Structure 1
Amino acid sequence: MATAPSNLRTQFKTELTCGICLELFTRPKETSLTIQPLINEGRNIMESYLSFLRSLREEEKNLDEKKKQTDSSIIQAYNQMVEKLIKRRDHLLAELDENHTKNLLRIQIERETVLADINELSAACDQAEQELQQGLEEFFILQTTLKDVVGKYRQKATPTPVQTQPAVFQPTDTPVPVLGHVMAQSLPSAPILAAPASSIEYAARGTGHQPQKMTFGGEGSETGQFMDPCSVTVSDEGVVIVADYRNQRIQGFTLQGTFIGQFPTVVSEEQKMGPNDVAMDGKGNLWVVGGTLNSDFAVQYSKQGRVLRKFDLQTSGWVRGVAVDTTRNHILITHTTGDWCPQGEVQVFRPDGTLVGTVGRQQGMEHPQYITVDGEGNILVSDWGNNCVYVYNEDGQFLFQFGGEGSGTGQLNSPRGICIDRAANIIVADMRNSRVEMFDKTGKFLKHITTDMKGPRAVAMATQGQIVITDYYDNKVSIFQNF
């Protein structure tokens, strides 16, 4: 190949050198054009983050303001409820005063009538005595006058006791007024899912042991719903039996919350009662205590709801509890008398209704309701009037009591349902404290089983180790495992 002229080689070398310089001088300018947009983008992102932080501060201010408003609403609701209670109290006292005034007026009218009769008889007798002392000139006139007066009252009926109607106060069975509920507002974008018939969740919050809870029911009269589920027991086969007070029925469920069946708590063909409490005897039959408007009963039902036997109970106007001492085949029923100064006791019956004896009056029980018998035959009674639990041996001799009014550790406020677990620990529904507590067999506090129920009312142990609790306010039943 021919060699290029020297002037061409010089020109090519010059052009090559200028191209390299051009690349070197122009590259920083292109790099600057590439980095600056990234810087701008980074600062824009940073500004959006700062804007988010400012929105968080605004949200904190809004939350504080909403909390103040909610605080004010709760206080206002409380004040309004107190005002209503005061008005109701004044109304009741006014009714009582009116009733008392009417009774006193009846007595006063009767007193004045009888005093007038006494004065007439006294005057006639006094006049006759004076004239007898003066002589017998007007004997026939005197005899006629006195005879007329005495004859008048001889035919007149003797005064009978005045029929007064003293008023009595019947408190409602609502342990504590409910102001309302505090709930978190739903997020605007969150979908609302229909709640299932039963749900499973972890009852405890935070770290540590978390008992699993399954809940079913809800307010209503349909199958599987409740209106005051005031009692519960569990059969050896694991059937959860719930006394549904205002629906006047007994319902049965599996330990998974599945409805099994129901039967009405009939007393006779024409009459049903509201069941206060239910207990199971050694043969699997149910003893239910409750009442109609004017009568109280203890009724034994078969598993199918057939009435096997019943006996009348002394009407008291207070709710009752029932337990079965399967060893002695005794039916234990709580009983309260009196309105202003209530006195309570446990009545012990044979299945035919024969009263064997009573337990607890010497300890000053006020409102005993729920009752259970442990494996040793000891009798345990919760008294929501005295805020304690009484313990007696199998012969009814007092052993000890525990609890006491308050919300501190081991204290109780309107204790209701009571049962014994497999380790002989005592489980108590502490209703007004919205919790269920566990004590050992000596009454020493062990732990809280749950603190997130509104109104725990009745408790029962299943043979598989679960605990079943009814909620009076929510009209639901919860089953706890691994508690």
Structure 2
Amino acid sequence: MVQKLKERKDLLSESQQIHNETFEEIQTERDRVLAEVNELSAACDRAEQELQQGWVEFLGQQTTLTEVVGKYRGKAAPTPVQTQPAVFQPTDTPVPVLGHVRVQSLPSAPIPAAPASSTNAARGRGDCHGYQRQGEHQSHDQRVTFGGEGSGPGQFILPYGVTVSDEGEIFVADFGNQIIQVFTMQGAFVRQFPTVVSGGEKMEPEDVAMDGEGNLWVVGNLSVVTKPADFAVKYSKQGRRLRKFDLQKTEWDRGVAMDTRRNHILITQTICGGGHGKVLVYRPDGTLVRTVGQQQGMKEPWYITVDREGNIFVSDYYNKCVFVYNEDGQFLFQFGGKGRGEGRLKKPRGICTDRAGNIIVADMGNRRVEMFDKTGRFLKHITTDMTEPEAVAMAPQGQLVVTDVEKNTVSIFPTY
């Protein structure tokens, strides 16, 4: 029996080969469709901007929008991908021969769309992985890693914050290059846009979050020494600046999160010199609603997230812990504490939650990403071999996206 098992161990490789071939066809078609959607979306954004500027004659002219829409009007739907499931056929003989794998042809079916989700802090769904693009690294745990240091498309200089849209696009705040870069869930570069504040001035983006309408909120600071300032800026997914408001200048980095239930923007702040931290809650017009965290001795908060119930989670770099508040800003509990043991934190940075309410924390000091339940009880290490894990975000199908500022890379972990 052992000998026969060794002889037929290629069963797994046969099925894996079939899986890879089918998935590559599906992914190629998806990327093509996504590029077309991006082109249409960009044209719509330009048209909306022109209409907002009062161009009444716009509708009566041959515009970029009509050209792009005309290009796709009447175009056939995406070609369904022919899938061929692998079927195992056992052999019923006196000799213990396992059987073989054959491909069963079925009628083609369209690519299923990803299910809708709520906020970036509450995404946890099924996953499909195994496909690897050229130039990507994929280890035994099936993670996909992309990037590297540089200023070209798909390269980073200090990738800080990260968020993922409902459509499965990854938005990375590239601090050093002063841009937001956008990728597919397979690590393919899609586009980028500069984090312009006004008048051509660009800020260094420290974190990024997505609101309930699919727009981005980015926090950062001007790199101009003679004109230091901090801002919160709202962009469309194509990079058009929609709104901004000023923040108190601080030398410590900020995090941003969205409470989509109340349409509030939550931004962390540390007062330099005094080591006093807090969370500022704003309306989209820049009106301050409340402050959170001062009574608990918050020192150096950076990253922040909000779960499906509106609970607020803040990682405090100085206190080596995570503070938890309810939707009204009332303190609930804290967990972590300095150390290397299970459930302890050394330099907590990025934080997010999944659909089940579990809390994921990037612990830069211990070079690992950890999972806690909704009460702060340690569950497991998601990974322990990253150099400097920085920010984390949940993707539409339950994958975890993690930035590494030391290697200037982004990694996508499959469902866990």
Q: TM-score, normalised by structure 1?
A: 0.57
Query: After TM superposition, where is structure 1 displaced by more than 3 Å over at least 4 residues in a row?
Result: none
The SS at the match of 1:199 is: coil
Q: Select the structure with the greater relative contact order (CA < 8 A; seq sep ≥ 6).
A: 2
Q: Which residue of 1 aligns with 2:108?
A: none
Q: Which residue of 1 aligns with 2:399?
A: 466
Deviation sequence 1:440-476 (CA, Å, 0-9, x none):
0000000000001000000000110100000010000
Deviation sequence 1:401-446 (CA, Å, 0-9, x none):
0000111110001100000012110000000100000000000000
Is the CA contact (8 Å cut-off) linking 1:277 and 1:289 kept in structure 2? yes
| Distance across 2 between alignment mates of 1:422 and 1:243 | 24
| Distance across 2 between alignment mates of 1:421 and 1:329 | 20
The SS at the match of 1:432 is: coil
Is the CA contact (8 Å cut-off) linking 1:298 and 1:312 kept in structure 2? yes
The Cα shift of 1:270 comes to 2.5
| Distance across 2 between alignment mates of 1:220 and 1:420 | 31
Is the CA contact (8 Å cut-off) linking 1:229 and 1:476 kept in structure 2? yes
Unaligned runs of 5+ in 2: 1-132
Is the CA contact (8 Å cut-off) linking 2:400 and 2:415 kept in structure 1? no
The Cα shift of 1:197 comes to 2.6
The Cα shift of 1:269 comes to 2.5
In structure 2, which of residues 299, 310, 318 is the aligned counterpart of residue 366 of structure 1? 299
In structure 2, which of residues 248, 253, 268 is the aligned counterpart of residue 334 of structure 1? 268
The SS at the match of 1:328 is: coil
Q: Which residue of 2 aligns with 1:220?
A: 150
The Cα shift of 1:196 comes to 4.7
| Distance across 2 between alignment mates of 1:212 and 1:197 | 15
| Distance across 2 between alignment mates of 1:269 and 1:284 | 25
Is 2:183 the counterpart of 1:250?
Answer: no
Q: Which residue of 1 aligns with 2:236?
A: 302
Is the CA contact (8 Å cut-off) linking 1:320 and 1:334 kept in structure 2? yes
Q: Which amino acid is the alignment partner of residue 200 of structure 1?
A: Q
Is 2:167 the counterpart of 1:237?
Answer: yes
Q: Which amino acid is the alignment partner of residue 265 of structure 2?
A: I
| Distance across 1 between alignment mates of 2:303 and 2:174 | 16
In structure 1, which of residues 424, 431, 437 is the aligned counterpart of residue 357 of structure 2? 424
Q: Which residue of 2 aligns with 1:442?
A: 375
In structure 2, which of residues 212, 235, 256 is the aligned counterpart of residue 322 of structure 1? 256
The Cα shift of 1:358 comes to 0.1
Is 2:415 the counterpart of 1:482?
Answer: yes
Matched-pair identity in %: 67
The SS at the match of 1:282 is: coil
Q: TM-score, normalised by structure 2?
A: 0.66
More helix by share: 1
| Distance across 1 between alignment mates of 2:187 and 2:135 | 8
| Distance across 2 between alignment mates of 1:270 and 1:301 | 15
Q: Which residue of 1 aligns with 2:345?
A: 412
The SS at the match of 1:433 is: coil
Q: Which residue of 2 aligns with 1:25?
A: none
Unaligned runs of 5+ in 1: 1-194, 203-210
- Provide closer, same or farther for how the CA distance between residues 324 and 482 of structure 1 changes in structure 2, counting only shifts above 3 A: closer
In structure 1, which of residues 370, 379, 382 is the aligned counterpart of residue 315 of structure 2? 382
| Distance across 1 between alignment mates of 2:301 and 2:359 | 16
Q: How is 1:1-16 mapped onto 2 (pairs within 5 angstroms)?
A: none
Deviation sequence 1:10-37 (CA, Å, 0-9, x none):
xxxxxxxxxxxxxxxxxxxxxxxxxxxx
More strand by share: 2
| Distance across 1 between alignment mates of 2:188 and 2:272 | 42
| Distance across 2 between alignment mates of 1:197 and 1:296 | 37
In structure 1, which of residues 437, 446, 454 is the aligned counterpart of residue 387 of structure 2? 454
Of structures 1 and 2, the larger Rg is shown by: 1
Q: Which amino acid is the alignment partner of residue 199 of structure 1?
A: H
